Structure 1
Amino acid sequence: MNYRKKNKPNDSTLYELASVTKTFTGYITAKAVLDKKINLDDDIRIYLNEPFPNLEFQNEPIKIRHLITHTSGFPNFPIKGENKEAFFEGLKLIKIETKPGEAYSYSNTAPELTAYILEKVYQKPYEKLVEEFILIPNKMNKTKFTLNENDREKLVKGYNDKNELMPNFNRTLWGGIAGLHSNTTDLVKYMRLQLDKSNPVVNKSHEKLFKEGSDFWEGYHWYIIEDGEKLIYRHHGGIFGMQNWLVIYPKQNLGISILTNVSFNETGEILEKIVENLYHYTNKTD
């Protein structure tokens, strides 16, 4: 868990999931659609407490579907993210410069607003929604946003490419973009959930919503790749000293989660290649 102490991780070691947390946001959004709490084509402003006339482009409003597919035109990071009140002040400063739904641009602002909207329609804190809809039903007892002292002892320490200790993520908003911690045992349970074809929420969350190129789609915070016989749902997470890839191959009933506590520019590419190699090794024929 600690590079300098040379101690090894075990099944109870906790990792920061970083942006893989967004797939939890996507799941709850899909559930909200099925529960008829929201509609993908709703103007997001009907869920806000102020008019926000700036959140449109030439009379074209930003819709829920734009938030979850990174096509809203929102900036990558919140203009103000130190707390929830400041977040909404920052929303007033956003200038939308492209028609919503036409261009992909990765945004950490949008999933936080999605988490707020989910809180509002269910009348429960976002953290509780994750527990109620995902963690408790799937017995993911070690996955959580808020850590106690015992948990913090199990939390892996992250490093950069110079082996310098990096800080853990400090959640100041709802947690729609990052903030979940989990261990390998719970991640196996989460992959099993994502492979459950009998689960209507899972199926909804894997729907293709926005097309990028010939074989690349955006779902409910899943990147969907369809290449011949290969169908992939995947998401990458990176935060300070941690990176991970979570990849689901539904046709092969296979899930792969790779985590590392070293983070630098090429880490994501390396992890992606490891996942590909594992996939080919698992599916090789003699």
Structure 2
Amino acid sequence: MKKEWYEALTEKELRKAKNGSIAIGVVTKEGRFYDGQFYDEPNETNVKDMIFEIGSTTKTFTSLLLAKMVVEGTISLDDPIVKYKPEYKKSLVNNGKEITFRHLSTHLSGLPREDMKVLRKRMKQDEDAKHNVFKYYTTEDLHRFFTDYPLKKHIGKKWGYSNLGVGLLGNVLCDILGEDYETAITEQILTPFGMMDTFVTVKDENLNRYTTSYNAKGERIPQIEIPATPGAGILKSTLHDMLTYLEYQMGMRDTHLKDAVSLSHQIHGNTPSKKTKMGLGWFIEKKEWCTEPIIHHGGTTLGFHTYCGFLKERGIGIVVFSTIQLKLIRLLKIALSLEDNVNANIANAVFKELIS
């Protein structure tokens, strides 16, 4: 792979960034490619083994766990969540319609993105919460939200990204299995895939590989903690492990989870964009420059940005990690889909070159 395909974009972002790092991994039928620049790591840093927070890309793992349990007959995609959480009926039922597993995985539940009332309260109560707010959002807070929240939006009608919804999805799946999220996702997904460098909790012996991220003031950002809704964004991983994940997604490696993987790639819902549909957890997006849709997901934490996407039939997968802090106006444009994020821009440039 030619470095010039993406080098101008990465250099441009790093020039604008304070203390930023970028790493890229590509897998094709011919093999793998890794590259990266790290702000405060030695030049001999092994790029493929550095640990990053993957943020909301975690949702694809949670949704694969869902697909696995559906394929095994443990649950149905259209089972109502209130069947498992009757105490949450107020927030899970509207006009006689019930939120299902499918609704949670495709962001069609009508639930809000976050419990902003409590998050704002936590940030006012504790200065440290401004830098790691989800650490202070407890399981009791989550239980109180779902017990008291009156669902007003129509279920299954309008797409709305919901960390709360996917967080609840992960929690309910784990309740059914009788395990916590770390145990369930490790036993059911990570170990079968041989992803030994993907974690909920990074142990001390691996902290020397944990990429450092900085805020706009040049201060180190602490590791993300999400005790109440881990399934929405808690995982940390490496380029090596994430390319392995994409190899399984593209069928380049055989697995007993292949039916669950296939189910997660089917279209299960719409989004506001006519070009983008929802799989289970995955975005399935049609690009003008490609005959095949890109299946992808991104992730953002306080310190990290992630892109993970692939062209299944062509066998091309790309993962981009960065610790670049974006200005508010650019974050708003990305949130409003007025422009792609840093990592998606880089990935799209590489996709275009590889298929040309």
Query: Is 1:38–1:121's contact at 8 Å kept on the other side of the alignment?
Result: no
Q: Give 2:108's aligned residue.
A: 71
Q: Give 2:349's aligned residue.
A: 277
The within-5 A match list for 1:197-236 is 199-212=258-271, 213-227=273-287, 229-236=291-298
Structure 2 counterpart of 1:140, from 192, 195, 202: 195
Q: Tell me the alpha carbon deviations over residues 20-61 of structure 1, each in whole angstroms, 9 at most, x when there is no partner.
A: 111100100111111122212211111115252342211111
Q: Give 1:99's aligned residue.
A: 154
Compared CA separation, residues 85 and 162, structure 1 to 2 (3 A)? closer
Question: More helix by proportion, 1 or 2?
Answer: 2
Q: Distance in 2 between matches of 1:3 and 1:166?
A: 15
Moved more, 265-274 or 111-120: 265-274
Q: Distance in 2 between matches of 1:206 and 1:164?
A: 40
Aligned-pair CA distance for 1:110: 0.7
Task: Give the structure-2-normalised TM-score.
Answer: 0.74
The answer on 1:154 being equivalent to 2:209 is yes
Q: Distance in 1 between matches of 2:216 and 2:268?
A: 36
The answer on 1:194 being equivalent to 2:249 is yes
Q: Distance in 2 between matches of 1:174 and 1:76?
A: 12
**Counterpart secondary structure, 2:75:** coil
Q: Distance in 1 between matches of 2:151 and 2:345?
A: 36
**Counterpart secondary structure, 2:293:** strand
Instruction: Kindly tell me the number of residue pairs found equivalent between the two proteins.
Output: 284
Q: Tell me the alpha carbon deviations over residues 248-284 of structure 1, each in whole angstroms, 9 at most, x when there is no partner.
A: 1112111000001123154752221111110011122
The answer on 1:180 being equivalent to 2:235 is yes
**Counterpart secondary structure, 1:53:** helix
Aligned-pair CA distance for 1:210: 0.7
The residue identity in structure 1 corresponding to 2:230 is G
The within-5 A match list for 1:55-134 is 55-78=92-115, 82-134=137-189
**Counterpart secondary structure, 1:171:** coil
Task: Give the structure-1-normalised TM-score.
Answer: 0.91
User: Can you give the 5+ residue segments of structure 1 that lack an aligned partner in the other structure?
Assistant: none
Q: Distance in 1 between matches of 2:346 and 2:297?
A: 14
Query: Is 1:78–1:108's contact at 8 Å kept on the other side of the alignment?
Result: no
Q: Distance in 2 between matches of 1:13 and 1:165?
A: 17
Percent same amino acid among aligned pairs? 24
Q: Tell me the alpha carbon deviations over residues 167-193 of structure 1, each in whole angstroms, 9 at most, x when there is no partner.
A: 321121251111111111111111111
The residue identity in structure 2 corresponding to 1:241 is G
Query: Larger RCO: Structure 1 or Structure 2 (Cα < 8 Å, ≥ 6 residues apart)?
Result: 2
Q: Distance in 2 between matches of 1:264 and 1:17?
A: 17
Q: Distance in 2 between matches of 1:146 and 1:241?
A: 16
**Counterpart secondary structure, 1:144:** coil
Query: Is 1:21–1:176's contact at 8 Å kept on the other side of the alignment?
Result: yes
User: Can you give the 5+ residue segments of structure 2 that lack an aligned partner in the other structure?
Assistant: 1-20, 22-36, 119-133, 332-339
Q: Distance in 1 between matches of 2:190 and 2:305?
A: 22
Structure 2 counterpart of 1:244, from 306, 309, 312: 306
Query: Is 1:160–1:264's contact at 8 Å kept on the other side of the alignment?
Result: no
Q: Tell me the alpha carbon deviations over residues 33-90 of structure 1, each in whole angstroms, 9 at most, x when there is no partner.
A: 1112221221111111525234221111111111111111111114656222331111
Q: Distance in 1 between matches of 2:86 and 2:151?
A: 19
